[in-house]
Amino acid sequence: MMTEQMHYDAQDLRAIESTGRLDANEGIFFARQLEYIRPKAYDIKRAPLNAIALMPVDTSTPAGAEYITYRQYDQVGIAKIIANYADDLPRADVTAKEFTSPVRGIGDSYGYSVQEIRAAQFTGTDLSSKKQAAARRAHDELINRLAWNGDAVSGLPGLLSNANIPGYTVTADGTGTSKLWTAKTPDQIIRDMNGIVNQVTTQSKGIHRANELWLPLEQYTYIGSVPRSATSDTTILEFFRMNNPGVTVRPVLEMDLANAGGTLDAMMALENSIDNYQLNIAMLFMQHAPQQRNLEFVIPCESRFAGVTIEYPLAFAKADSL
């Protein structure tokens, strides 16, 4: 129920009053309702969208920026034994590749008709927050999809679509030369898991060490229920965790059908650190003052997003066909 103690945003009230569609009491009522409804999007209990839940988020990019630039560095050069008075010393240096990612606006809206506002005030009930929750959910789902897969048309880079991440080849030695874990022995599955985790270390010459392994849901539940051997009550997942205490194994929905063609499941080993990559949000979800459109008040919502940038691709390894 509505309470007289509810506050309202002065900018919202001015925007509402300027339209002349609502009387003074209706305008104050609507402004108070918006102040009440806006936080509700954060109260909805839903399973978290995995991009923001798993990836390090960087909000340091100014909202007004149109592009962000980042660099990948590498050391080059060698030393050698020299003679006295040598003047041909070899050169050691640092090389850098520069990459640019655009910052794109993301927006949607929700609204209430004049009659909805009048009816709510007349009956003494609150306006429904479901419209705002739907707008926020649609916005977050797009951010999640872009973070994983990017968008070639807008130039936004995604994690799974990054061509610089090294691939790991899953051995096709299951039943009928299959790569699928359901066709493999526990030993073969453990070898695949160890192999992709170890590749992060070897390909980076020990600079990076995988601390997470992301699996599709079906494969995660499979290794969590299949025994390590016929004589063991330890599952494949438990055995791997015991022997890799520094690696967190996670079920990640977005690993389902995550190969380049979207037809095969994938897994990813990574050193999950903001030093290696970032999910860039230049402006967090914002709701603007209501705008009148005929007999409706529309609340525009927006944010700004710059994709997932990867400075150290050798901190990752990705495998398809599980």
Q: What is the mean pLDDT of each run of 10 residues along the chain (322 residues)?
A: 44 53 52 53 58 94 89 53 56 65 92 82 70 86 94 94 93 94 96 97 93 96 94 94 97 88 89 95 89 87 93 93 82
Rg of the chain on CA atoms, in Å: 27
Burial of 189 per CB tally in 10 Å (0-12, 13-18, 19+): buried
- Reading the block at residue 26, the tokens are 């209706």
pTM: 0.78
Give residue 241's Cα distance to chain centre: 25
How far from 22 is each of 25, 99, 161, 243, CA to CA, in Å?
Answer: 8, 51, 50, 67
What b-and-e string marks burial along 132-143, b requiring 16 or more CB atoms within 10 Å of the CB? bbebbeebbebb
The whole-number pLDDT of residue 314 equals 92
pLDDT one-digit tens code per residue, 260-318: 777 889 999 999 999 999 999 999 888 888 888 888 889 899 999 999 999 899 999 99
CB 167 within 8 A of CB 318: yes
* E strand segments, the chain: 57-58, 67-76, 93-102, 104-113, 212-215, 248-251, 266-270, 277-287, 291-293, 296-310, 316-320
Report the DSSP pairing between strands 57-58 and 277-287. parallel
